[in-house]
């Protein structure tokens, strides 16, 4: 026996209840049509790594910094900032919708440079976001609602895996331009220029400011200049994603060069920032989203609409991480310590690249591994094929994503030789 109510089908599991005098019915499943989703590829690598009992096992899938003992690293400037914050015994009231004002100001100054004309004229707006992912999603939502041109975002091929669902779920269409050349494990400059020249006017183009994820391949300054000229000629809106400022080269100004150059050339960019990597604030979720506008009046209007977008999503961002980052950036002593520490982190990664290439040569590899050194940032596109990755995992317990991307943060002076031995064995 079934009862039809509000278009839902209810199945009776008994007759009239003597005590209640009503039918006892069981609701059919609300979620019967929900299919099992595919596992996250990086989390899957981590789970397989955890199950492995080989004492030499290596997890090169996760994009989080490790020290030379392979341990998570908390910066001393972060600990000092936390102590200063705790000593002030501040309240835990809500932040404003746009976040902690002193953080947002310091965030923009870090990216654009403190003397940038954009900041002095007040023609930009920066809001605090939930790390880089939250920044990108707020930006995607803003573009979906207000961008006057095509709702197309052109991503480099490949790009960070999360870029696609972030923009897709915000209602944007995803397209691509050539970026990585598998034959050289480097930048396909000519292919990029050719594809960009065919992008329709007023479309959105995503550019990685530094330490391109997942390839570690960045344009050289002279190449950035040509890209800037072409993008200006094509009248494209530039969306910079800068998740590694300072962490790529160890120099915050060098890593922000492309962003600042594009603004100098007259591009009114939008920008996402993250403090996960360069301050080690992974779980604190600290980021910023900036829109460079025509003038201060336009910036005020954009700010009002960003707040309207943010309010129904998470009301206002979390406080603790923003306080930590703001304290570091706005305290001369802590900022100095941070600049040294982020340089040291970047330098360790660079040294591991050099040692990996040297050890591969020592193993007798006949391949050219110069791209391992030339690439920059946390990730390296090794050029390994899926079948070689599979062998490396099965025979050496070295875990990475199937595309051959490795997190250089997982390489240490203690295991780099073992990694070179494994790579050589599967690439002979």
DSSP secondary structure, 52-116, as one string = ---TT-EE----S-B-TTS-B---HHHHHHHHHHHHHT---PPPPTT--HHHHHHHHHHHH-TT-
**Active-site residue (options: 57, 80, 160, 195):** 160
Separation between Cα atoms, residue 261 and residue 264, nearest integer Å: 5
- 151 flagged as catalytic: no
- 402 flagged as catalytic: no
**Active-site residue (options: 188, 195, 218, 241):** 241
Angle between helices 101-112 and 257-264 (to 10 degrees): 80
Q: Which helix (H) or strand (E) holds 191?
A: helix 189-196
- 307 flagged as catalytic: no
**Active-site residue (options: 195, 218, 255, 277):** 277
Separation between Cα atoms, residue 206 and residue 288, nearest integer Å: 16
Residue 52 class from Cβ within 10 Å (0-12 exposed, 13-18 middle, 19+ buried)?
A: middle
Residue 237, both tokens: 């809106």
Strands 8-16 and 2-5: antiparallel
Q: Which residues contact 346 (CB under 8 A, 6 or more apart)?
A: 246, 247, 248, 249, 250
8 A C-beta contact, residue 398 and residue 422? yes
Could you list the active site residues? 160, 241, 277
């Amino acid at each position: 026996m079934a009862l039809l109510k509000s278009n839902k089908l209810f199945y009776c599991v008994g007759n009239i209840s003597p005590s209640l005098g009503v039918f006892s019915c069981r609701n059919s499943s609300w979620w019967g049509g929900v299919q099992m989703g595919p596992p996250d590829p990086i989390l899957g690598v981590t789970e397989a790594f955890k199950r492995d009992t080989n004492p030499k096992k290596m997890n090169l899938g996760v994009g989080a910094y490790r020290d030379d003992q392979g341990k998570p690293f908390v910066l001393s400037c972060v600990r000092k900032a936390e102590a200063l914050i705790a000593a002030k015994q501040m309240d835990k009231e809500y932040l404003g919708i746009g976040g902690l004002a002193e953080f947002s100001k310091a965030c923009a100054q870090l990216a654009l440079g403190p003397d940038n004309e954009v900041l002095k004229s007040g023609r930009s707006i920066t809001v605090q976001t939930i790390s880089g992912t939250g920044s990108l999603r707020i930006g995607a939502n803003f573009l979906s609602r207000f961008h006057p041109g095509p709702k197309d975002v052109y991503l480099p091929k490949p790009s960070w895996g999360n870029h696609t669902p972030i923009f897709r779920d915000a209602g944007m269409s995803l397209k691509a331009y050539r970026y990585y050349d598998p034959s050289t494990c480097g930048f396909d400059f000519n292919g990029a220029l050719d594809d960009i020249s065919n992008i329709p006017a007023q479309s959105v183009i995503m550019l990685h400011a530094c330490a391109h994820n997942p390839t570690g391949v960045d344009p050289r300054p002279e190449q950035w200049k040509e890209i800037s000229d072409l993008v200006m000629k094509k009248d494209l809106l530039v969306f910079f994603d800068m998740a590694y400022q300072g962490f790529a080269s160890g120099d915050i100004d060098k890593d922000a060069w492309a962003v600042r150059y594009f603004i100098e050339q007259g591009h009114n960019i939008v920008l996402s920032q993250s403090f996960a990597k360069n301050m080690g604030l992974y779980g604190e979720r600290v980021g910023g989203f900036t829109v460079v506008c025509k003038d201060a009046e336009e910036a005020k209007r954009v700010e009002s609409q960003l707040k309207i977008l943010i309010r129904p999503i998470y009301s206002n961002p979390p406080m603790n991480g923003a306080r930590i980052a703001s304290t570091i950036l706005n305290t001369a002593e802590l900022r100095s310590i941070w600049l040294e520490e982020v340089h040291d982190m970047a330098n360790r990664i660079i040294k591991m690249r050099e040692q990996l290439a040297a050890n591969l040569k020592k193993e007798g590899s006949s391949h050219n591994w110069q791209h391992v050194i030339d690439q920059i940032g946390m990730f390296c596109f090794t050029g390994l094929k899926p079948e070689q990755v599979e062998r490396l995992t099965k025979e050496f317990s070295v875990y990475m994503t199937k595309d051959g991307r490795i997190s250089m943060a997982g390489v240490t002076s203690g295991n780099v030789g073992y990694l070179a031995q494994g790579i050589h064995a599967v690439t002979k």
